[in-house]
């Protein structure tokens, strides 16, 4: 029955639009659109990004794979078509999500990919449409879209259609401002369900933490929680944080707010703002001094110690670690006093200096 349902032409497209529409209605019903501070450039990036991806980029990449496969590997065509739709669905989803976990993680750890992905993190509000704001080139390089073409060529087209709908449900709900899991964490009866569910699937709390502005709030982890549909990869590769709470601030610290043109068309159009990562001359320079720095801290205050060595506000983090594999170290001052913090970044007892700089 499911197979014949997914025989209906373009049914996956209509269902995906239906899911977006449903979350749009939910967010409107709860008054989130009314309070939204979204600007015109946010709308252009989100609506425009979605339209170009769906109408142009995805069909182009999938058709390219089908065309190349047809000419170069004709014997592979339909190789999976004898399998059940559920087998092909699992095959599609697990490979897709594994690829996306690593692509997304590298987009946070490699400078060039980070510049293509950072528009996604410039959003200062969550919402069902936020998932679609990335630079155009980000989508051309996305391995999942190529994988959709490949598995469709192998005969898994119906499984892909079903998988895209399921993925969309998880992705849109995890970006939405309607947080279905928030009430479940508070409800004693339903809590066991959400605690098991979050170990398999991405929840709003898990993904909102990824969009939080800074680790300083003790909830956000902008350099973790990279999963897309399943949280298993984050747990397996040590990047998962389950805080069960929601950040109060979203977006990027020290964001120079580029135009939508620079954000969407980078590297073909660069930012004119010299302080922007998308400016042609922008560079992150390592700290010049290795000597420890004495700082005054206040009891009960939380601080982020810079681990990457690129902050201009040493020894504290200024978010320059985006595009590297480092993340800052959060610590709370137990008393108001002076602390000797590491600046060579070699200490084995971060954030404190352990004299490792003397070995350089
Ligand atoms: S600037 Fe954040 S860790 Fe260095």
Instruction: Give the containing element (helix H, strand E) for 264.
Output: helix 260-265
23 with 161, same domain?
A: yes
318 lines ligand 1 (CB under 6 A): yes
Of 236, 271, 306, which marks where a domain is finished? 236
Beta-bridge partner residues of 305: 316, 329
231 with 291, same domain?
A: no
Cα–Cα distance, 233 to 220 (Å, whole number): 18
Structural domain includes residue 262:
no
Predicted confidence (pLDDT) per residue in 168-184, tens digit: 999 999 999 999 999 99
DSSP reduced 3-state for 349: coil
Q: Whose CA is nearest to atom 2 of ligand 1?
A: 317
321 lines ligand 1 (CB under 6 A): yes
Number of independent structural domains in the chain: 2
Q: Is the distance from CB of 148 to CB of 160 less than 8 angstroms?
A: yes
92 with 214, same domain?
A: yes
> How many CB atoms are closer than 10 A to CB 259?
16
Q: What is the largest CA-CA distance in the chain?
A: 72
208 with 296, same domain?
A: no
Output b/e per residue, 125-139; b: 16+ Cβ within 10 A: ebbbbbbbbbbbbbb
228 with 313, same domain?
A: no
31 with 114, same domain?
A: yes
Predicted confidence (pLDDT) per residue in 195-236, tens digit: 999 999 999 999 999 999 999 999 999 999 999 999 999 999
| Secondary-structure breakdown of the chain: helix, strand, coil percentages, each rounded to the nearest 5 | 50, 5, 45
Question: What residues contact residue 299 under an 8 Å CB cut-off, 6+ apart?
Answer: 333, 334, 335, 336
Structural domain includes residue 225:
yes
Of 214, 236, 258, which marks where a domain is finished? 236
Structural domain includes residue 250:
no
Of 236, 263, 298, which marks where a domain is finished? 236
Predicted confidence (pLDDT) per residue in 283-312, tens digit: 888 887 889 999 999 999 999 999 999 999
Predicted confidence (pLDDT) per residue in 43-53, tens digit: 999 999 999 99
- Kindly report the average pLDDT of the chain as a whole number: 93
Q: How far is the CA of 308 from the centre of ligand 1 (A)?
A: 5
Mutate to test the pocket of ligand 1, among 220, 328, 342 (most ligand atoms within 8 A of CB): 328
Structural domain includes residue 9:
yes
The answer to which of 26-40, 97-111, 272-286, 292-306 has the lowest mean pLDDT is 26-40
Nearest atom in ligand 1 to 327's CA: 3
28 with 95, same domain?
A: yes
Nearest 5°: phi and psi at 341? -100, 145
319 lines ligand 1 (CB under 6 A): yes
What pLDDT is stored for residue 1 in this prediction?
A: 65
DSSP reduced 3-state for 192: helix
Q: What is the pTM of this model?
A: 0.94
Mutate to test the pocket of ligand 1, among 214, 216, 252, 308 (most ligand atoms within 8 A of CB): 308
Q: Is the distance from CB of 221 to CB of 210 less than 8 angstroms?
A: yes
Nearest to 127 by CA among 209, 33, 201: 33
179 lines ligand 1 (CB under 6 A): no
232 with 357, same domain?
A: no
Q: How far is the CA of 197 from the centre of ligand 1 (A)?
A: 33
116 with 194, same domain?
A: yes
Structural domain includes residue 251:
no
Q: Is the distance from CB of 181 to CB of 194 less than 8 angstroms?
A: yes
Map 17-69 to HEC letters: HHHHHHHHHHHHHCCHHHHCCCCHHHHHHHHHHHHHHHHHHHHHHHHHHHHHH
Task: Check whether 16 has a pLDDT greater than 90.
Answer: no
Q: How far is the CA of 207 from the centre of ligand 1 (A)?
A: 21
Structural domain includes residue 120:
yes
Domain span at 320: 286-360
User: Cis link prior to 351 (omega < 30° from 0)?
Assistant: yes
Q: Where are the beta strands (DSSP E) in 180-292?
A: none
216 with 327, same domain?
A: no
320 lines ligand 1 (CB under 6 A): yes
155 with 35, same domain?
A: yes
* Band (13; pLDDT cuts 50, 70, 90): confident
322 lines ligand 1 (CB under 6 A): no
Average pLDDT over every residue of 312-323:
94
134 with 69, same domain?
A: yes
DSSP reduced 3-state for 300: coil
Structural domain includes residue 142:
yes
Structural domain includes residue 33:
yes
215 lines ligand 1 (CB under 6 A): no
């Amino acid at each position: 029955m499911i197979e014949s349902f997914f025989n209906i032409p373009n049914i996956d497209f209509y269902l995906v639009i239906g899911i977006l529409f449903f979350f749009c209605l939910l967010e409107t019903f709860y008054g989130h659109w009314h309070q939204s501070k979204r600007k015109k450039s946010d709308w252009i990036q989100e609506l425009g990004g979605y339209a170009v991806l769906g109408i142009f980029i995805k069909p182009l990449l999938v058709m390219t794979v089908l065309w190349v496969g047809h000419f170069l590997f004709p014997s592979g065509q339909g190789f999976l078509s004898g399998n059940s739709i559920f087998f092909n669905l699992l095959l599609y989803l697990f490979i897709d999500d594994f690829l996306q976990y690593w692509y997304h993680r590298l987009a946070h750890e490699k400078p060039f990919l980070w510049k293509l992905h950072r528009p996604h993190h410039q959003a200062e509000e969550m919402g069902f449409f936020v998932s679609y704001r990335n630079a155009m080139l980000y989508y051309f390089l996305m391995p999942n879209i190529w994988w959709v073409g490949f598995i469709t060529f192998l005969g898994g087209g119906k499984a892909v259609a079903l998988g895209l709908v399921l993925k969309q449900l998880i992705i849109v709900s995890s970006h939405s401002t309607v947080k279905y899991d928030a009430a479940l964490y508070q409800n004693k009866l339903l809590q066991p369900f959400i605690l098991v569910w979050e170990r398999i699937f991405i929840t709003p709390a898990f993904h909102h933490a990824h969009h939080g502005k800074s680790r300083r709030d003790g909830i956000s982890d902008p350099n973790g929680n990279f999963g897309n549909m399943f949280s298993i990869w984050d747990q397996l590769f040590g990047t998962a944080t389950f805080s069960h709470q929601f950040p109060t601030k979203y977006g990027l610290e020290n964001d120079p707010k580029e135009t939508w043109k620079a954000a969407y068309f980078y590297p073909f159009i660069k930012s004119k703002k010299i302080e922007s990562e998308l400016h042609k001359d922008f560079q992150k320079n390592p700290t010049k001094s290795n000597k420890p720095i004495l700082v005054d801290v206040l009891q009960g205050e939380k601080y982020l110690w810079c681990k990457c060595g690129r902050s201009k506000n040493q020894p504290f983090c200024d978010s320059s670690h985006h595009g590297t594999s480092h993340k800052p170290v959060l610590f709370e001052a137990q008393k108001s006093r002076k602390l000797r913090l590491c600046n060579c970044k070699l200490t084995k007892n971060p954030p404190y200096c352990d004299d490792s700089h003397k070995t350089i």
